Amino acid sequence: IKNYKNELCTKGYFRLNSSMLLWEEELLEKIVRSIELLRSKGWTPHFILIFDEIWKIGHLFSKILEQTSNNKLNMDLLAWYIDPKKNQSGFSPHRDRMPKDKPGQTHGTAVKKSFHDDNTPKYTSIWLPLTNATPDNSCLYFIPANEDPYYAIGDPVDMEPLDAVLPRDNLSSLQKIRCMPCTPGSPLVFSHRLIHWA
């Protein structure tokens, strides 16, 4: 756990060893089949969240969040289905939370307050792939915190975070991007300030 916490503070993310998650091997397959059934009936994948299995997984994650980031699970859960037959992709580059400075505050004050005293983020996300996530089918991409000069101080005003970190006139900055392929059940835990996309 200590190594995970260190990675969260330095890189802004860590890959959780799936052996720490004590669930039945066929659980993820059941969830995938259930999401596919929901979709076949015209329902959004988010309806998977009414089933107990999801909350059992959430309970496991809540312990890990508390130990690695001092955070509690806030029940902000989403379910995604990327349809390979429809050439769908995930989402564009963003930070999960962009704290705003109050009038009169120095630029970046709100961002600095979005971290605990030990530099762990006050908001963390857990992404759990249910199937193989590869560069061909929407795995996540990250800009590590230690490669992002604005991660802890706040983004330049009137500029998209990704454009600030990866200037278009500096192609070598693309070397900062980390591709995060995952096998089913191998979660990624990451900070609210980590630029990510799929």
What is the tens place of the pLDDT at every residue in 50-104? 999 898 888 888 988 999 999 998 878 889 888 877 877 778 999 998 888 999 9
Model confidence at 43, pLDDT cuts 50, 70, 90, reads very high
pLDDT of residue 34 exceeding 80: yes
Q: Which residue do the tokens 């970190």 mark? A: 165
Alpha-carbon span 91 to 152, nearest angstrom: 23
Model pLDDT, residue 123? 95
Q: What is the mean pLDDT of the chain?
A: 91
Q: Out of 23-27, 33-37, 67-71, 136-140, which region has the weakest mean confidence (pLDDT)?
A: 23-27
131 SS3 class = coil
pLDDT for the residue numbered 116: 95
| Residue pair 109/169 in contact by the 8 Å Cβ criterion | no
Range 165-172, long-range pairs (CB < 8 A, 24+ positions): 165/195
Q: What number is the average pLDDT over the span 30-39?
A: 94
Task: Give 178's pLDDT tier (boundaries 50, 70, 90).
Answer: very high
pLDDT tens for residues 122-143? 999 999 999 999 998 879 999 9
End-to-end CA distance of the chain: 27
Please tell me the pTM assigned to this model: 0.91
- The first and second tokens of residue 159, run together, are 């500029």
- Please tell me the number of Cα atoms within 13 Å of 168 on its side-chain side: 3
